[in-house]
Structure 1
């Protein structure tokens, strides 16, 4: 995967910006508020139609603008052939995504442009809500199992219909039976996909974590959202009265979670903040590594203010790992000297300076 050119319109303080990145490491530097993170948000918007920093699109949109547009030339399958990708979204929520002359839906867009982000909010993977961890797990399943998106959508539909019946208390027994059956069938299939993906991820995670954190025995586990020693259908029947009282389904894959254990305890309660950063970084790197193994395609990594999240030793280990991969990286920092020191002289690297929303290409390493 390579982004060859990026044109940004109306993303935060970037009213107009044009970036021609190199295929490996791109460092964006400048003072706080200069627009560095906005470039990363624009790339994330290109892949997902949304920001990784806010759920409110109006906060991503430049002040006074009615729509945002990001256009890029990309080589998604390393075929040495560039194609045009453009994503536009307006303040009413209308989205258009076009690639190589055809319209894409959200799943096609995400599949085309696999993006991994590491920023301050990423550390919620350890001590944030289960929703964050399910999203992490489902990203991996989506990019490794072609059947996942169909199962996921079917399960979401069954859950919505079942909750609707519970919420309004108008229980047609035949309808409930239909949606219970669909809920169980799709939910079990979805859970099997999640479990299989996690079993493949664990060895990658443990290997990378051992390099970054040393001999700290973090164990990664999976909670399906119900007691898997019992049939999901039986548990739905047993919990029906409670579901009806609350107006929504209490048990099932919508409650799935990842578990991080250290010495039989919740790792988030024991690890220091620095250690948490390394665990989450290992998770993200492991997911990218597994994606490459499944697809034979690299990811695009977005690292927001990496030097502030990792000390020099771990920054170097982190960069060594990235150097050995084929991933294209975009890294923000305030002082470029904090990042250029970690790369070999022959690495494909470029520096870009941001100043009050204006972007300029400074130098490529080795020029």
Structure 2
């Protein structure tokens, strides 16, 4: 089968590799669509980061570069390993792409398996990836999804789960006013979850194209350019001078962080969603005098079922966030190049490893 293989910084190759063997307790999946994630871009430009270097195998997967990329993907069940009896051939599924040590509690009540030692991701640290035509995945990480949800939209369940977990961490509820700093893919999808749960959403974003996308998709009630308006004052106008209840930092940019801190009401909650490649700082006096809660969030934990339910019930429409579809041969020239050099023109570019659906 064909797959996109990561060798190192700036080195991704489309190669023919062996199809995976589906072992006991595993599910064979024909990959339909795989999204290109910001993490994939970081690996290409700055890595290896999550991807293990050649000669340094990951302690759980036992694999090192080259590895097959891709962790945001949907597909169709093609085979069932011994002992898997609750799925059917032909069923639509998405994958929660974790690589986690044996013995870690990953049951339905766990709230911290995503923080366990040496955690990593399928499609970054081995065990196949969504940028290959086929994959074999342990049953625990395979989530069925209604065949009524198109498979291209289903590929966005993984990044949507990031937003779902961030909103859970915030404690946001219907009627709250939320401000999201940044309308990239994760900012937009976090806003989509907030809207689905009944919040009023304000987005602060420099790019006019991204602001318009937030308004056109109706995931934001208001979208402001911080160069043109005082975002903090606009939030206060919308809240009778009080400030936002919750804020979500989705840029890893210091001025955006500062705006969110100022825009929050006393005892508001700030959730830091983005991955920071540099040290950030806070105006500690504001944190203290407003009694703000600051919470980190990473990935998701038992978030996929709730996320899938929102989509199956029609509370979130993922179609508008798909802005491009390509094959494996266009991965760098049409996919990575667009997202690195013209990122405001795209939200989510999907790849069909087999070429089907293009």
Q: Highest relative contact order (Cα 8 Å, sep 6+), 1 or 2?
A: 1
TM-score, length of structure 2 as denominator length = 0.27
